[in-house]
Each structure stands twice: as C-alpha cells, then as structure tokens.
Amino acid sequence: MIEFGVDALTRERLAEARDWGRSAMRPAGLEADRLAAPLPVDHPYFAKFVERGGGRTRWPGPRGRERSDSEPTSVVTTLLQLEELAYWDRGVTVADPGPGLPEGNVLAIGTEEQKERFLGPFLAPDRPRWACFAMTEPGAGSDAAAIATSARKDGDGWILNGAKCFIGGASRADWILVQATLDASAGRAAQRAFFVERGTPGLGGFKIEKKMGLRAYESTSFTLSDCRVSAANLLGGEARYASNAGFKTAMQTFNAGRPIIAANAVGMGRAALDEALAFARENELLRRERVRDRLEAMARKLRMARLVCLRAGWLADRERPNTVEASIAKALAAGVAQETTALGMELLGSTGARGDHLIEKLYRDVKAMDIVEGTGQVQRVIIARQLVGLPR
C-alpha cells in the first residue's frame, strides 16, 4: 500500500486495520460469499469486533465526557482506513455494527435528547448494535428528491406509509432513520427524517435481497404501514426544517459518503491488482509486454483515483465545499476498480470461471461501487452541471 504524508498515529491505525483485515475480515467475507448469505447477528466476528472497541459512536456523551478514543479523526485519515479495510473485504466493512450512515445526520441536526437516546447505546455497546439510513425506494434511487414515503401529522405524532429497498442492515437495526415527505408534489422542501425503532407497529415486511456480490451484509426491503412515531422522533424537531434542511442534511450524508465509496473502490482495486500480479508472476505472464503494460496502467489509474479521493477528504477537513470533488472521486474510482477486476479476470482465464478465486469475488463485489451513493451517471451529471454553470 502507498503511504505518504501521514503521521505516526495514522500509520499505526492503518497497521491495525491491516492486521484486523487479514486475520478476521477476509475470512468472514469469504465465508459469507461461499454461503451466499449475510453474516448472522450472532456470528463470532461481530462479538470480536465489539470487544476490540468497534461499533461505537463519535458522539462524546451527554456531558462531553473524556473518552480514550475522543481524539477527532480527520476525513483523510478515515478514508485511508476505509480504503485499507475494503482491501480485505468491503462487504464485511458495511456489515460491521455501529450507528452507521445516519450518525452524521444525528450529530449535525439532532437534538441533545435524540443524541442521548439514539447514539447513547453506541457509546459503550453491550452487544453488537446497528442503525441504518433509509432513503432508497422502488421508485426513487439516484433521484433522492423523488421519494414517495409519506409522513402525515396525527395529533402529537406522525404516521408513516411507504416502502424502502436496498437498505443495509435494516432488519437488525435498533433504529432506522427514514426519509419521508409531507407532500410528494412539493419536492425537496417537504422532506423530513424520522427515527423508527425496531418493533414499532407497522414496520415490517423485511426481505433480505439476494446479491451477486457483497454478500456479507444484508440489503433489505421493508414497508411502513400506518407506522406511528412520536413527535420526538422527528430528527431535529420542526424548527430545523426551514430552507430544505431535511433534504440538504440527507444530501450532506451522500456528499460525505461518496469519497468513502471512492476509497472503498480504490481498496478493492488494489486487492485485485495485487492478486493479478501474484497470479501473473506464478504463471510467468509477466514476460509478456502487453501484460506488464496493462498492470502498470491499472496501478497508475488507482493512484490517480486515490489522490482525487483524498482531495475530496482534504476539502471536507477544511469545511470547504466538496460536492464536485466527491462526485469526481466516486465516478473515477468506481470505474477504475471495475477495470482492474476485469483485467484480473482476463488474466485468470479459465481459473476465474471456477468461482473460487478472490479476483472473481472482487469482480462481483466491485460492481456495486458504481451504483451505491448515486450512480456513476448521476455523478457525471453533477460534474457537467458545475462545468457549464447550471444550478446543482
């Protein structure tokens, strides 16, 4: 792995991630892939993950008390760590317990009561715990403004109706942050986010989808049928929703997530490149100039994608706009990673058709990197609109 411009603490964290990935993550990911099913909640991997301090929130607690892990981690450092973890198994990374994707939303606009209530259990979890964010619907994927799940005020609470799909970890989550709309015809301004806790009447119909890759974690569809939540479960309270705050906060989640997906893709591409080099060396393919040229091209493109990804993180660390850079990183890295795994499959030849080589698994896994957090096509639309000066 290329390590440059990082301090001693970051190097130590990367070494820890590498050791954990090699000893625990890759074996767990290969197990899930062979079984074609997500790791079950009681899998020993999750217990080990929590025992070693994983699955915790960044929220410092109700009194901002000192914590041994309270030193803030830069976005760039986080991207480097997530790249390394994805090198070993990206599906397991997503399956890991923790407050997950919605944590940033709660930290950004959640009330203090909501932080204590929903993030508090993740301060020192007594068991593997999960939370998740539910935006995607059967009729609203990359166009997040088109969601149809409805929220209707009812006395001192809200009634939610709708369907969500491809939500990571929904059936095992302690709570789901559900994006809904007060009026589908009103567009982004009508969107709100609600905490829906496990066991809430009307929350059900969980179906874990079968996937060709990233099998270690569950992608779940579910429904909300006259699902009632209290007023206290509206993220941030009513006052927070001036000026499209609900939609903007959701989009900030994706702007933060796109460099993460890019970092994941780079890590997966690195793994495929290393495996392809090893295979080529073992089978004396490196004597062929064409093979060497293509391997060099993959290494060069992965380096390029990595630098663009870190640029997006560098801007985020300085609280500077990074929407375009995040889209560039995501679109570029996903494509390069797919190209690298495809080259690996080409080098494997008939060996790749057996279905038992890591490159074949990576070839299936990496396709999702072009889809999740906004498809590559959508990223290119965002970049193009900025290029010609249209509103984002």
CB 28 within 8 A of CB 39: yes
Residue type at position 253: T
CB 57 within 8 A of CB 123: yes
Main-chain phi, psi angles of 179, to 5 degrees: -85, 125
Which residues are part of the catalytic machinery? 373
CB 73 within 8 A of CB 120: no
Specify the residue for token string 């964290």: 13
Specify the residue for token string 């935006």: 135
- Decide the pairing of beta strands 175-181 and 131-134: parallel
Which residues, 6+ apart, have CB-to-CB distance to 20 below 8 Å?
Answer: 52, 85, 88
Residue type at position 282: E
By CB neighbour count within 10 A (0-12 exposed, 13-18 middle, 19+ buried), where does 30 fall? middle
Query: Please, what's the largest Cα pairwise distance for the chain?
Result: 75
Query: Which among 287, 265, 272, 300 is positioned nearest to 371, based on CA atoms?
Result: 265
- Decide the pairing of beta strands 219-230 and 157-168: antiparallel
